[in-house]
């Protein structure tokens, strides 16, 4: 499983594994222990994690969410020190630590809360995604 297999559905909490497409939408399964199935139609807003980025002020203009999660995993593993209920200033400081050039004008506190919640869901229900990337990077540095 990778970031292109996991989606967020607008109006639904949590993350969902993409099971398979249908004629009128896609079948999703919640990542949590409940494994609830959901058929999302074309009218619902579905965002695949591999397509989501965080706005930055650098020349590229954004950082892919996969890179953000990789940085968080390398530095904090499963103990972030903040939660989605932390104060807005703490949340902004946390993201500033991870992405020093994030754009505070376009990245809202609610976005940072989603990143923290999604990271927690991945650590709890799909840690292989985060650890697989870390292993790949270590193997690449050994080859150089």
**21-41: pLDDT as tens digits:** 888 889 999 888 788 888 888
| Strand 6-9, strand 37-41: pairing | unpaired
Q: Which fold has domain 3-49?
A: SH3 type barrels. (2.30.30)
Query: Which stretch, 17-26, 76-85, 97-106, has highest mean pLDDT?
Result: 97-106
CA gap 68, 56 in Å, rounded: 12
Q: Which fold has domain 52-143?
A: Arc Repressor Mutant, subunit A (1.10.10)
| Helix, strand and coil percent figures for the chain, each rounded to 5 | 45, 20, 35
**What are the distances in angstroms from CA 8 to CA 46, 51, 59, 66?**
6, 11, 28, 14
Average of pLDDT values for 82-91? 90
Average of pLDDT values for 52-67? 91
pLDDT given for residue 144 in this prediction: 52
**Residue 140 confidence (pLDDT) above 70:** no
**Residue 108 confidence (pLDDT) above 50:** yes
- Residue the block writes with tokens 């972030």: 80
Domain map (residue ranges) of the chain: 3-49, 52-143
């Amino acid at each position: 499983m990778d970031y292109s297999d996991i989606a967020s559905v607008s109006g639904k909490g949590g993350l969902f594994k993409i099971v398979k497409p249908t004629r009128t939408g896609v079948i999703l399964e919640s990542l949590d222990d409940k494994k609830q199935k959901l058929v999302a139609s074309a009218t619902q807003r579905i965002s695949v994690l591999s397509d989501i980025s965080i706005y930055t002020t650098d020349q590229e203009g954004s950082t892919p969410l996969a890179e953000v999660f990789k940085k968080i995993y390398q530095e904090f593993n499963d103990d972030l020190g903040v939660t989605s209920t932390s104060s807005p200033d703490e949340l902004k400081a946390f993201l500033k630590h991870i992405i020093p050039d994030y754009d505070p004008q376009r990245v809202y506190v609610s976005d940072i809360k989603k990143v923290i919640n999604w990271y927690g869901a991945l650590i709890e229900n799909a840690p292989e995604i985060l650890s697989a990337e870390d292993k790949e990077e270590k193997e690449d540095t050994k080859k150089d």
